[in-house]
Amino acid sequence: MLRYVAKRLLIMVPTLVIISLLVFFIITLPPGNCVTAQIDEILSSGGPNAIEKVRQLEQLYDLDKSWWERYAIWASGALTWDFGLSCQDNQPVSQLIGERIALTMVMEISTIIFIWVVSFIIGVYAATHQYRPGDYIASFIGFVGLATPNFLLALVLLYVGKRYFGVSVGGLMDPQYIDQPWSWEKIHSILQHLIIPVVVIGTAGTAGMIRRLRANLLDELQKQYVTTGRAKGLPPLKLLVKYPLRHALNPFVADIGHILPEVISGSVIVSVVLSLPTTGPMLLSALKTQDTNLAATFLLFVAVLTVIGTLISDLLLAALDPRIRLQGGTEK
């Protein structure tokens, strides 16, 4: 296992380098960026020090260098947690993303837990009560969840919350805690505001997972070993938990790899709609204004999460799934 981990970790290095290189290159492809917009503004307004200001800006953002030189500076800076300056805010990227990444992680992890818990309960119930009212209701909820865009659900909940309950569900904390140091009250406020985004972002994932778990569990429950166990008088719960459920759970583990980036990219629009102070709206704005350093840093984080998630899911799968070799070919 240690050899496998070492192999995978080594592969992660060139993978991340290639991803970051591609991301950086693609972001710089269109002509101009938010610095050139500032330079144009300075030049058009004129003034005695216009040329000097432009030169300073060019040096500050390394515009006098080629894109790959700028990439090398940004990538080597990443090792010291220095991702350069954000040209739209004129602040270091590391300062801008700090709290937002923490809040994003809290929201995404809560969403993943929500997806797992809800889909596990409903999926198992639907499979063990096939073609009964509960199964139809679960399937209906699943299809509605799959078919409803997250941002639409967010808009509906915003309206319902304001219109019928008189509460604003926007934001990730009460306004008085914004830009305040961390306290228990602030955490409590975040937890309260977390419910709506988690439900909104998690709905589509939950729906997909319910369908998958139900289908897998139904496949397992129809196998001969289950019939044999039933014929031998095994208690239904033991018969369900011992093997079929274990096998049907594999997709849960396998999904860790892509559920992380999926949830993060899926939450961008929802975060904009719900005014959440997460990375989503900032990434969108960075891409719109071609803030290369900021956008590349966010996308690098998504890439890191993806490769780490995939590694974790592969390791868990290898460890949890009692595999049987079907044919020759063990690795030397």
Partner 1 sequence: MNVTLRYARPALYADYARAGAGVAVCVLPLLFVTTNAVTVALAALGILFLLFGVRTAARHATEIVADDAGIVARGPFGGRIAWDELSRLKLAYYATRRDRKGGWMHMTLSGGGRTLRLDSSLDGFNDIARVAARAGIARNIDVSDATRANFAALDIAYPAAERAAA
Q: How far is the CB of 272 from partner 1 (least distance, A)?
A: 28
Shortest CB 24 distance to partner 1, Å: 18
Per the CB < 8 A criterion, the answer to whether 282 and 2 are in contact is no
| Footprint of partner 1 (CB under 8 A) | 1-7, 9-10, 13, 78-81, 314-315, 317-319, 322-332
Query: Least Å distance between CB 107 and partner 1?
Result: 20
Nearer to partner 1, 250 or 285 (CB): 250
Strand, helix or coil for residue 12: helix
CA distance linking residue 318 with residue 326, whole number of Å: 15
Q: With respect to partner 1, which residue has the nearer C-beta, 44 or 327?
A: 327
Amino acid identity, position 218: L
Minimum distance of partner 1 from residue 104's CB (angstroms): 16
Q: Do 294 and 286 meet the contact criterion of CB atoms below 8 Å apart?
A: yes
Helical H segments across 79-223, by residue range: 93-128, 133-147, 150-164, 184-221
Distance CA 207, CA 239 (A): 26
Q: H/E element holding 229?
A: helix 224-231
Comparison of 146 and 316: residue with beta carbon closer to partner 1: 316
Whether the Cβ atoms of residue 206 and residue 115 lie closer than 8 Å to each other: yes
Question: What residues contact residue 142 under an 8 Å CB cut-off, 6+ apart?
Answer: 122, 206, 207, 208, 210, 211
Of 147 and 326, nearer to partner 1 (C-beta) is 326
Nearest to 282 by CA among 270, 301, 268: 268
Q: Are 256 and 313 in contact (CB under 8 A)?
A: yes
Give the CA distances from residue 302 to residues 115, 266, 277, 307, in Å, rounded to whole numbers and listed in that order: 19, 12, 17, 9
Q: How far is the CB of 283 from partner 1 (least distance, A)?
A: 20
Residue with smaller CB distance to partner 1, 183 or 228 = 228
Closest approach of Cβ 145 to partner 1, in Å?
Answer: 26
Nearer to partner 1, 41 or 331 (CB): 331
Q: Which is nearer to partner 1, 137 or 254 (CB)?
A: 254
Rank residues 2 and 147 by Cβ distance to partner 1 and give the closer one. 2
Nearer to partner 1, 44 or 80 (CB): 80
Task: Tell me the closest approach of the beta carbon of residue 223 to partner 1, in angstroms.
Answer: 14
Closest CA to 290 of 38, 21, 80: 38
Count of C-beta atoms within a 10 Å radius of residue 108: 25
* Residue 85 C-beta: closest distance to partner 1, Å: 18
**Cβ neighbours for 36, distance < 8 A, ≥ 6 positions apart:** 63
* Least distance from partner 1 to the Cβ atom of residue 326, Å: 5
Q: Residues with Cβ < 8 Å from 130, sequence gap 6 or more?
A: 218
| HSE-CB for 244 with a 13 A CA cutoff | 26
